[in-house]
Amino acid sequence: MLNAERKPVTGKRVQLMATCLCDAIYDDVGRATVEVLEHAGCTVDFPEGQTCCGQPAFNGGDWAAARKVVRHAVRTFTGEDPVILPSGSCAAMLFHGASLAFEHEPDRVEVEALGRRTWELIDFLVNGLGITTWPGRFDAKIALHRSCHTRGTESIPAALTLLRSIPGVEVVEFGEVEQCCGFGGTFSVSFPNISTAMGTLKLAHLRAAQPDLLASVDMSCLMHLGGLAAHEGKPVKIMHVAQILRDALKHP
């Protein structure tokens, strides 16, 4: 879902919304996000009061609860600076999901204003800042999982552009690239059989390409795929694209 009426980027100050996954589990992805943004010349502001984008409740069907969380985000991310998330899914929640949940609410305007300055990180680097090549070196065969909530956005083309520009990176193709990993938030626990079957299929496609690692712009998918693989006793290496960009910088 494209963020259609997105505000053009003018300055280099950004607000980071780390997402609850980085907050609770993947702190290194949060760190990489900051370092990558700073490398791009941005000043990163991290509003301390931030929590979550509201998506778990929104997708779970509890829109009243979701609105509570989105309102908190609106209060926390004030000003006009772009809000950057290292997650296509959480970004889509803010620029698309939230406007659905606020269709009949008096504060819809504020919510949509936040949506218009919300960016998924890699999309921001390429289409917000105009970066099309990335320096450094990263030696790996990478399978890029297309997380579903980047469908119809510029995030995946952006990620491919940057990854392919890094010396040493080989992006490998695999079967049924458009198919979902089966995570789906609460879907993964309320429909565990289907979710697992979907993930297993995805893993099989990914593994067939024999990559060194699975990458994505969403840690949620990687958490699911990585968790499945580890449970099978055949772990796979997972990395957020931001981590790859950051690590590439270490090898000039």
Partner 1 sequence: MAKQLIDQFAATLPADKRASVYQSTKSTHEKRTKMLFDQFAEPNRLRALAGEIKQHVLEHLDTLLPAVEAKLQANGARVHWAATAEAACTAVLRIMQARGATKMVKAKTMVSEEIALAPFLEKHGIEALETDLGEFIVQIDHDHPSHIVRPIIHKNRREIATSFERHGLGAYNDDPQTITRRARQFLRQKYLQADVGLTGANFVSAESGRIVLVTNEGNSRFSLAAPPCHIVLVGIEKLVPRDRDLGLLLNLLARSATAQQLTVYTEFISGPKSAAQPDGPEEMHVIFVDNGRTEVLASECREILRCIRCGACMNVCPVYRQVSGHAYRSVYPGPVGAVLSPLLAGKKFPELADLPKASSLCGACHEVCPVNIPIPDLLLRLRDKAKREGARRAAAGTPPMGAWALLASQPAAWKAALFGSKIINYLPTKLLPVPPLRAWEDTRALPEMRGGEFRKWMKGRKKS
CA–CA separation, 2 vs 16, rounded Å? Answer: 20
* Residue closer to partner 1, measured from CB, 5 or 103: 103
* Residue closer to partner 1, measured from CB, 108 or 151: 151
Reported as half-sphere exposure (CB side, CA atoms, 13 A), residue 47 has a value of 23
* Residue closer to partner 1, measured from CB, 54 or 166: 54
Least distance (Å) from partner 1 to the CB of residue 200? Answer: 8
Burial class (CB in 10 A: 0-12, 13-18, 19+), 240: buried
Least distance (Å) from partner 1 to the CB of residue 180? Answer: 4
* Residue closer to partner 1, measured from CB, 137 or 187: 187
Least distance (Å) from partner 1 to the CB of residue 83? Answer: 16
Least distance (Å) from partner 1 to the CB of residue 202? Answer: 9
Least distance (Å) from partner 1 to the CB of residue 48? Answer: 7
- DSSP conformation class of 8: P
Q: Which residues contact 97 (CB under 8 A, 6 or more apart)?
A: 54, 55, 58, 59, 66
Nearest to 174 by CA among 122, 222, 213: 213
* Residue closer to partner 1, measured from CB, 222 or 248: 222
Least distance (Å) from partner 1 to the CB of residue 226? Answer: 7
Decide if 218 contacts 87 (C-beta within 8 A). Answer: yes
CA–CA separation, 36 vs 168, rounded Å? Answer: 18
* Residue closer to partner 1, measured from CB, 111 or 169: 111
CA–CA separation, 179 vs 156, rounded Å? Answer: 14
Residue with tokens 């698309």, as numbered in its chain: 96
CA–CA separation, 60 vs 93, rounded Å? Answer: 13
